[in-house]
Amino acid sequence: MLLDARDLDQRAAYRLMIGSIVPRAIAWVSTLSADGTVNLAPFSFFTGITSSPPSLVFSAIRRSGAHKDTRANVEATGEFVVNVVGEGVAEAMNQTSEELPPDVDELAHAGLTPLSSARVRPPRVAESPIQMECRLDRLVEVGQGPGAATLVIGEILAWHIRDDLYDPERARIRVDRLQAVGRLAGDWYTRTRDQFELTRPNPTYQGR
């Protein structure tokens, strides 16, 4: 079957994307508004970009033509925290995907615990196994119409990692213990417990 993107409307293209680009990591982004209100929302169009400097990007798609609170807060303050979603907080993460007024604190709404950050003002989610404090690098507008989005590119300033997840000898995160959650299509998610290893053909490659 061939589906030409030129023949699809925005909604149909979106459904194909979320069903094809799987699994997707979830950026659970905490921000502060200009008046200090906490916002927390999940984004599954998310990935790392480079390690020099350590940087990541997530895509904030507009709803009904308007920017999301997260995007507005990041533009206003230049700071945000990406909290990793483990299985233990999957239900709470789902609660924070609800469309709520800008003056509602989603951390409190979902019964989560805020923690002070070291380098930025937005709080971290205590229940998240890994939190990355970020400073805005740039905002890039992509697309047009109802599916238009803002790419939020940020530099990672600091990591907070649960002690049992970090291997100090190898300076790596124990992904076997992380039990992260990934996004699929519709209401479906996946776990990262089922893992397998493939050795690279060029094992000296430094990007492993």
Mean pLDDT, to the nearest integer, of 173-192? 94
- When the pLDDT of each residue in the chain is averaged and rounded to a whole number, the result is 92
**pLDDT for residue 101:** 85
Does the residue 200 lie in any domain? no
Does the residue 79 lie in any domain? yes
Domain that holds residue 135: 9-191
Does the residue 2 lie in any domain? no
CATH classification of the domain holding 185:
2.30.110.10
Summarised one tens digit per residue, pLDDT across range 99-158 is 888 888 999 999 999 999 999 999 999 999 999 999 999 999 999 887 899 999 999 999
Does the residue 208 lie in any domain? no
Does the residue 1 lie in any domain? no
Distance, in Å, from the CA atom of 207 to the CA atom of 205, rounded to the nearest integer, reads 6
User: What percent of the chain lies above the pLDDT cut of 70?
Assistant: 96
Whether the pLDDT of residue 205 is over 60: the answer is no
Total of domains in the chain = 1
Does the residue 199 lie in any domain? no
Does the residue 120 lie in any domain? yes
- This prediction's pTM: 0.92
Does the residue 137 lie in any domain? yes
